[in-house]
């Protein structure tokens, strides 16, 4: 039998249905891989007992012929999703040993469809970061290394644990969240597929909130088809989230292999940055050529407000975060640091419980929302956001079906290499991804090639609202042309 951990989700589904192996065998193979890869620090909580009992239940359902669409496939869950009875911390000290008494809607739908939980995955604290270095559990290692080098690189962030675990074949797929790029950027840096669906596609209920008007859940997977399978289970209307859209979820897998002939692909000229590495430029051209060869038509488009997206995002996101994080006060859950009075208790708890990046965001957010500065910063950023959204609307109104861009401005970098002296250096990672969140659109990152040092690079496709299907069709064309990439095991 081939190594069970190297199968795609779609292949595992077939093997399980054909009774070539059981879910318990598949789950045990992944639990073994997790144990052997602890040096990557991808998991912050392993749940082997729960995994095995879920796998046995899945095997019984399969035997009875009553298997759900994800029956028996072992997944990892970002530690931002509340999991009933299993510690959920958002990788922040302030949540301490918080154990939710409820399950997030997205994860409950995965369990409804038969998936198996292997454990909780590392992420940047409250999902604030682009390198998974702000986690209270420490950084995550990228399974990819530069050729001939032993330096451990970051997997990107904030869903660094999800991307690393999927790339290192520790789980067959993972949940992730994306506020400014946290699904697509780590996917690109690890040669995995990540899709941030349209805002409202997946319920945010039971997901630790960062910036509520931007946050979306989505999968990180080994292939475009696997991502389509996972998203189908994760998506759907939820009355418990008033921003969740009451729109039927299509069978995303049916979009795989569909012809892209005649589709119009926008190439935004503003994404051609000064000083962009030649390798990224080359990759972008290759992606455009593959889509053209598949029958798509390339058109140059303009998204003129792109240059304001990053500054506007770093006002809107901290503003919402400062409000969302007000609830962590040492009274209701998690960490409590005593003080002489209740104010001191709040102050001590928040000073001790939040890491440096989270404190920075809370301070920026409080500042831009304060009476004297609200109009100059927050209100202005909201106006910019409307203009960014309009840029995309104008583009789609011209008959563009999707937009092709690089996913990241560079390949993976070393732990501690960026943002130490100037946080903006880290924020620049999100240059190609934040506009998509600001506009609420779907975006997929697909592995497309390697740089000169053998590190993976990804391309991004941006779609119309609720048209994830087109992204799956086009994403698969890129996947077919570029091939799939697996890191050489060193751990
Ligand atoms: N890197 C961005 C930030 O730090 C985006 C994070 C995310 O998408 N959760 O805010």
DSSP codes, 400-413 = --EEEEES-SSS--
Please give the C-alpha separations between residue 123 and each of 128, 199, 204, 285, in angstroms, as whole numbers: 9, 21, 17, 32
**Residue 342 alpha carbon to ligand 1 centre in Å:** 32
The pLDDT confidence band at residue 1, using thresholds 50, 70 and 90, is very low
Cα–Cα distance measured from residue 168 to residue 410, given in angstroms and rounded to the nearest whole number: 21
Q: How confident is the model at residue 37 (pLDDT cuts 50, 70, 90)?
A: very high
Residue-wise pLDDT for 331-340, tens only, equals 988 999 999 9
Residue 2 pLDDT grade (very low, low, confident, very high; cuts 50, 70, 90): low
Among protein residues, the one whose CA lies closest to atom 4 of ligand 1: 129
The CA 130 to ligand 1 mean position distance, Å, reads: 6
pLDDT at site 99 = 97
Mutate to test the pocket of ligand 1, among 78, 91, 121, 127 (most ligand atoms within 8 A of CB): 127
**Which residues line ligand 1 at a C-beta cut-off of 6 Å?**
127-130, 158, 178-182, 210, 317, 430
Average pLDDT estimate for 333-355 = 96
Using CA atoms, how far residue 217 sits from 43, 210, 349, 401, 477, in Å, is 18, 12, 29, 23, 24
- Do 4 and 29 touch, CB atoms closer than 8 A? yes
Nearest atom within ligand 1 for CA of residue 361? 10
Indicate the top mutation candidate among 125, 129, 178, 460 to test ligand 1's pocket, ranked by most ligand atoms within 8 A of CB: 129
- Position in ligand 1 atom list of the atom nearest CA 129: 4
In the chain, % of residues over pLDDT 90? 97
Tokens of 61: 């359902």
Ligand 1 centroid – CA 356 distance (Å): 15
Residues 430-479: pLDDT tens digits? 999 999 999 999 999 999 999 999 999 999 999 999 999 999 999 999 99
Q: Could you tell which of 194, 430, 443 is best to mutate to test the pocket of ligand 1, judged by most ligand atoms within 8 Å of the CB? A: 430
With tokens 């496939």, the residue in question is 73
Q: What is the mean pLDDT of the chain?
A: 97
Q: How confident is the model at residue 273 (pLDDT cuts 50, 70, 90)?
A: confident
Cα–Cα distance list, 268 to 294, 306, 462 (Å)? 20, 10, 11
- pLDDT higher than 80, residue 145: yes
Nearest CA to ligand 1 atom 10: 128
pLDDT at 332: 87
Residues forming the active site: 78, 158, 182
Cα(71) to ligand 1 centroid in Å equals: 32
Please give the number of the atom of ligand 1 that sits closest to the Cα of 211: 9
CA of 434 to the centre of ligand 1 (A): 8
State the distance from the centre of ligand 1 to the C-alpha of 360, rounded, in angstroms.
14
Residue pair 88/95 in contact (Cβ under 8 Å)? The answer is yes
Identify the structural domains of the chain with CATH numbers, from first to last: 9-262 (3.90.1300.10)
Rg of the chain taking only CA atoms, in angstroms: 21
Instruction: State mean pLDDT over 385-399.
Output: 98
**Predicted pLDDT at 420:** 86
Cis omega (within 30 of 0) on the bond before 158?
A: yes
Q: What are phi and psi for residue 175, nearest 5 degrees? A: -85, 155
Residue 22's CB is within 10 A of a number of other CB atoms, namely 18
Query: Does pLDDT of 274 surpass 90?
Result: no
Q: Is the per-residue pLDDT at 70 higher than 60?
A: yes
Ligand 1 atom with the shortest distance to the CA of 179: 8
CA 4 from centre of chain: 25
What CA–CA distance (Å, rounded) separates 477 from 260? 8
pLDDT of 427 higher than 90: yes
pLDDT in tens, 92-133: 999 999 999 999 999 999 999 999 999 999 999 999 999 999
Q: Across 209-289, where does the E strand assignment appear?
A: 216-221, 264-268
Which atom of ligand 1 has the smallest separation from the CA of 178?
8
Q: pLDDT at residue 352 above 60?
A: yes
What span, in angstroms and rounded, lies between the C-alpha atoms of 287 and 334? 47
- 174 pLDDT exceeds 50? yes
Counting beta carbons within 10 angstroms of the beta carbon of residue 161, is it exposed (0 to 12), middle (13 to 18) or buried (19 or more)?
buried
How confident is the model over 9-33, as a mean pLDDT?
97
Convert the pLDDT of each residue in 217-236 to its tens digit: 999 999 999 999 999 999 99
Percent of the chain with pLDDT over 70: 100
What tokens appear for 40 in the block? 């990557």
């Amino acid at each position: 039998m081939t190594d069970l951990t190297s199968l795609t989700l779609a292949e595992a589904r077939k093997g399980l249905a054909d009774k070539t192996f059981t879910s318990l065998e598949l789950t045990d193979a992944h639990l073994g891989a997790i144990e052997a890869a602890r040096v990557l620090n991808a998991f912050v909580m392993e749940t082997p007992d729960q995994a095995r009992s879920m796998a046995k239940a899945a095997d019984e359902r399969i035997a009875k012929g009553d298997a759900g669409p994800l029956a028996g496939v072992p997944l990892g869950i970002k530690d931002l999703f509340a999991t009933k009875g299993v510690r959920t911390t958002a990788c922040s000290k302030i949540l301490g040993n918080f154990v939710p008494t409820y399950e997030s809607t997205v994860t409950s739908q995965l369990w409804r469809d038969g998936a198996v939980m292997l454990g909780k995955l590392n992420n940047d604290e409250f999902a604030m970061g682009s390198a998974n270095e702000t986690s209270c559990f420490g950084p995550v290692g990228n399974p990819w290394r530069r050729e001939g080098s032993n330096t451990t690189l970051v997997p990107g962030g904030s869903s660094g644990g999800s991307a690393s675990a999927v790339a290192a074949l520790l789980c067959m797929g993972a949940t992730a969240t994306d506020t400014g790029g946290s699904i697509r950027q780590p996917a690109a840096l690890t040669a995995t597929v990540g899709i941030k669906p349209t805002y409202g596609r997946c319920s945010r209920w039971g997901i630790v909130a960062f910036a509520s008007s931007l946050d979306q859940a989505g999968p990180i997977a080994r292939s475009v088809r696997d991502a389509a399978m996972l998203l189908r289970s994760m998506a759907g209307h939820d009355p418990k989230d008033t921003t969740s859209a009451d729109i039927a979820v299509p069978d995303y897998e049916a979009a795989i292999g569909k012809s892209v002939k005649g589709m119009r692909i926008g190439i935004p000229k503003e994404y051609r940055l000064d000083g962009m590495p030649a390798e990224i430029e080359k990759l972008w051209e290759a992606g455009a050529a593959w889509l053209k060869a598949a029958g798509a038509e390339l058109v140059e488009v303009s998204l003129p407000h792109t240059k304001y997206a990053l500054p506007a995002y770093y006002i809107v996101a901290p503003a919402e975060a400062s409000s969302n994080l007000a609830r962590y006060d040492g009274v209701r859950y998690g960490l409590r640091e005593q003080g002489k009075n209740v104010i001191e208790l709040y102050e001590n708890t928040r000073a001790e419980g939040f890491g440096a990046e989270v404190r920075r965001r809370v301070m920026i957010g409080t500042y831009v929302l304060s009476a004297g500065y609200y109009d100059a910063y927050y209100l202005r950023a909201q106006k910019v956001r409307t203009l960014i959204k309009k840029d995309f609307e104008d583009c789609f109104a011209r008959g563009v079906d999707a937009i092709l861009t690089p996913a990241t401005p560079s390949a993976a970098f070393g732990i501690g290499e960026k943002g130490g002296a100037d946080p903006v250096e880290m924020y620049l990672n999100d240059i190609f991804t934040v506009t998509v969140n600001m506009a609420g659109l779907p975006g997929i990152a697909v592995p497309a090639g390697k740089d000169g040092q053998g590190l993976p690079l990804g391309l991004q496709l941006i779609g119309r609202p609720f048209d994830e299907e087109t992204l799956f069709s086009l994403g698969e064309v890129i996947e077919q042309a570029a091939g799939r990439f697996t890191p050489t095991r060193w751990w």
